[in-house]
Structure 1
Amino acid sequence: MVEPVRERSRRERLRADLAFLGYAPLSETTWIGPRASPELGGLLAGEGIHADRFDAVLDGDPQALAARTWDLDGIGSAYEDWLARAVDLIGGLPRDAAADRVFAVRSRLLHGWRNFLFRDPGLPAELLPPGWPGEKARAYFEQEAARLLPAAAAFVDRHLAEP
């Protein structure tokens, strides 16, 4: 539980920072997270905010609480949308594509994927709904980003070497 923050800009910054660390609000001063964040102490100290922190055991269904607390439907839909666009993006890249095009496609892939770093709280699998699309999207991203990396890196290296 964090102490109430009266200043609007500090309160909004705290909310955004806590959400970035994977926490979700149960109320204005009570936040819940699937695991303790090592960055939380520094965040609170930097804002000069006192918080009572503790681990708890839920007396109920943790999956139901997660579904009520985080927008899992919205995050899941975003993963499905991203994956469909990524498959189209990668599918439009010829096997013999020039390195500059590979670099551009990989950059778009990475740019789209990094949005999930800010949106997905990284809940453990046991708290996610069955058939969670985030895992399929993650596997596709990792596979394709790694596959495109050599040509994209060669393009960058070649251009950095130019005078």
Structure 2
Amino acid sequence: MDNRQAIGSWLSGPRAAMEEAGADFGYRGEQLGLPEDGPNSLARPGRRLGAIAVDWGLSVLIAYSLITHGYSQATSNWALGVFFVMSVLTVGTIGFTPGKRLFGIRVVALETGTVNPLRSLLRTVLLCLAIPALVWDRDGRGLHDRLAKTVEVRA
């Protein structure tokens, strides 16, 4: 193995290096019983990040309108509260937030297909802590989704 190949495998990550060595991981979502493409396939990270950016922006706008003395740390705290309430209520009732709807994503429970309000509450608490959402498994699910037994799929 020459240096360029070694550096390339380091830059692309351990999964790519293992696949080059002949390991077959299958597609993301295969172990969850999801299709590879199309509706109900695992939502890609770009869509998920776009959806959360829209939801956060909407939360900041709502919080800013609630507080009349301009943007401050209090607005940021209110925005997190608005984001929390919006996520719990919308995911727990209709399965998506406004941002997820815009990007064609919905949240489903692995066993039942629908997310109940209690599962939505757990998922949102963990999402607001941020760290669980940054720890992903091989399927690209965040720790908040794993613990709540949910998955974000394409609508």
Could you tell me the TM-score, scaled by structure 1's length? Answer: 0.24
Q: Name which structure has the greater RCO, CA cutoff 8 Å, separation 6+.
A: 1
Higher helix share: 1
